């Protein structure tokens, strides 16, 4: 898709020796909340405007969602600027950390997030998108470290090149290997292992637990993650946890605290309904009082909106 290699990639010898990527695996669902898996395919880049047409066979042209998974191979070390242009919602995870969260119906809008990547390292990448009504736009690009403003403007319309995107781990398996579609939500065995190893006083953030904006209603992708968490909790019935709700600092502090409390209670109710003992869980809303990122930076603010398990 690209006739020219950006100057920042040409200036470094190592990236030229890196394996060439094949894109990301895309899983296309009917429904805006990953309701029914219809289609899986490999997409070479994230640069889509379906222009009132369905994104693939068997899918509607509205009310659908997509999950792209794979690896991002960094050609340089430093802070990269991610740039998303989207209508309607998009979320991006790098190495299981939510770095961009703009999950709502909206007109075509631009968002940025800053991430630190290491040269030659394959970073896990997950991008989620949903389409509500009317226009469709799902685009993701990057600006590499130390890029001049001129280069940044020149690359603004180009998605992340295919050569840096991998559908399978480039360090473990060849990119041409057969890929099996995942279940409705990504596998989460590592989270179960982390829960087992969690010591008293330690925290475990649940990055897939999301709510409708300003509400305490769990989204379906959060329910899938909580189903796996419920099984892990039932396997260790002697352990006790505080389920913490946290928000950013946008809005009134007391309203944020109340919202975070309702969200923590919603998580507890969901887990208890799936067999977790009531005595294992204590909901607690902290509002915006315990930030883990700079609320003044919109690119980082989303990290403060989170649910955390704190072992008692």
> In whole angstroms, what is the distance from residue 10 CA to residue 259 CA?
49
Does the pLDDT value for residue 177 go beyond 60?
no
Does the pLDDT value for residue 242 go beyond 90?
yes
- Could you report the per-residue pLDDT of 34-89, keeping only the tens digit for each? 888 898 999 999 999 998 899 999 999 999 999 999 999 988 888 888 999 999 89
| 304 inside domain | yes
Q: Which of 113, 169, 168 is nearest to 140 (CA)?
A: 113
Tell me: do 29 and 151 sit in the same domain.
Answer: yes
Q: Tell me what percent of the residues of the chain surpass a pLDDT of 90.
A: 39
Model pLDDT, residue 180: 38
- CATH number, domain of 141, equals 3.90.182.10
Helix segments in 119-237, DSSP class H: 149-155, 189-197, 220-234
| 4 inside domain | no
C-beta of residue 156 within 8 angstroms of C-beta of residue 141: yes
Backbone angles phi, psi at 144, to 5 degrees: -75, 170
If you average pLDDT over each of 170-179, 207-216, 218-227, 268-277, which comes out highest? 268-277
> In whole angstroms, what is the distance from residue 307 CA to residue 204 CA?
9
Tell me: do 214 and 294 sit in the same domain.
Answer: yes
Mean pLDDT computed over 94-122: 88
> In whole angstroms, what is the distance from residue 25 CA to residue 180 CA?
10
Model pLDDT, residue 241: 95
Does the pLDDT value for residue 1 go beyond 70?
no
Model pLDDT, residue 76: 85
User: What three-state secondary structure class fits 73?
Assistant: strand
- Could you report the per-residue pLDDT of 121-169, keeping only the tens digit for each? 889 899 999 998 888 999 999 887 765 554 454 444 578 999 999 988 8
Model pLDDT, residue 119: 86
Rama region for 288: left / alpha / beta (φ>0; ψ in -120 to 50; rest): alpha
Mean pLDDT computed over 234-246: 91
| 220 inside domain | yes
Model pLDDT, residue 194: 72
- Could you report the per-residue pLDDT of 186-227, keeping only the tens digit for each? 444 455 667 778 889 999 888 778 887 788 888 766 777 788
Confidence of residue 267 (pLDDT cuts 50, 70, 90): very high
Domain of residue 268, residue span: 189-311
| 5 inside domain | no
The first and second tokens of residue 102, run together, are: 């703009």
Confidence of residue 301 (pLDDT cuts 50, 70, 90): confident
Mean pLDDT computed over 286-306: 86
Model pLDDT, residue 206: 86
Rama region for 246: left / alpha / beta (φ>0; ψ in -120 to 50; rest): beta
| 183 inside domain | no
Residue 107 burial (C-beta neighbours within 10 Å; 0-12, 13-18, 19+):
exposed
If you average pLDDT over each of 206-220, 228-242, 256-270, 284-298, which comes out highest? 256-270
| pTM of the complete model | 0.53
DSSP state of 87: E
Model pLDDT, residue 197: 81
The number of distinct structural domains making up the chain is: 2
| 68 inside domain | yes
- CATH number, domain of 234, equals 3.30.1330.60
Structure-derived torsion over alpha carbons of residues 151, 153, 158, 164, reported in degrees to the nearest 10: 40
188 vs 308, which has greater pLDDT? 308
Tell me: do 211 and 304 sit in the same domain.
Answer: yes
Model pLDDT, residue 188: 43
Confidence of residue 6 (pLDDT cuts 50, 70, 90): very low
C-beta of residue 271 within 8 angstroms of C-beta of residue 263: no
Tell me: do 251 and 283 sit in the same domain.
Answer: yes
Model pLDDT, residue 157: 56
């Amino acid at each position: 898709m690209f006739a020219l290699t950006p100057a920042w990639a040409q200036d470094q010898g190592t990236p030229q020796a890196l394996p060439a990527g094949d894109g990301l695996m895309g899983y296309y669902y009917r429904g805006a909340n990953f309701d029914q898996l219809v289609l899986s395919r490999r997409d070479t880049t994230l640069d889509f405007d379906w222009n009132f047409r369905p994104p693939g066979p068997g899918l509607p042209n509205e009310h659908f969602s997509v999950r792209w998974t794979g690896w991002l191979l960094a050609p340089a070390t430093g802070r990269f600027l991610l740039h998303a242009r989207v209508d309607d919602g998009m979320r991006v995870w790098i190495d299981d950390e939510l770095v961009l969260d703009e999950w709502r119906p909206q007109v075509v809008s631009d968002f940025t997030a800053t991430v630190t990547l290491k040269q030659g390292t394959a970073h896990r990448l997950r991008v989620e998108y949903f389409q509500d009504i009317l226009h469709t736009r799902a685009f993701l690009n990057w600006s590499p470290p130390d890029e001049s403003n001129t280069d940044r403007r020149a690359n603004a319309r180009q998605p992340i090149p295919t050569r840096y995107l991998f559908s399978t781990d480039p360090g473990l398996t060849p990119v041409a290997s057969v890929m099996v579609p995942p279940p409705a939500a990504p596998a989460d065995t590592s989270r179960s292992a982390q829960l087992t190893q969690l010591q008293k006083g330690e925290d475990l953030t649940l990055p897939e637990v999301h709510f409708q904006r300003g509400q305490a209603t769990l989204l379906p992708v959060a329910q899938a993650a909580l189903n796996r968490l419920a099984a892990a909790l039932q396997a260790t019935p002697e352990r006790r946890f505080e389920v913490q709700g946290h928000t950013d600092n946008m809005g009134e502090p007391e309203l944020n605290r109340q919202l975070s409390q309702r969200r923590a209670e919603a998580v507890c109710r969901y887990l208890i309904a799936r067999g977790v003992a009531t005595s294992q869980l204590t909901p607690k809303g902290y509002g915006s009082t315990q930030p883990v990122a700079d609320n003044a930076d919109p690119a980082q603010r989303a990290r403060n909106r989170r649910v955390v398990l704190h072992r008692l």
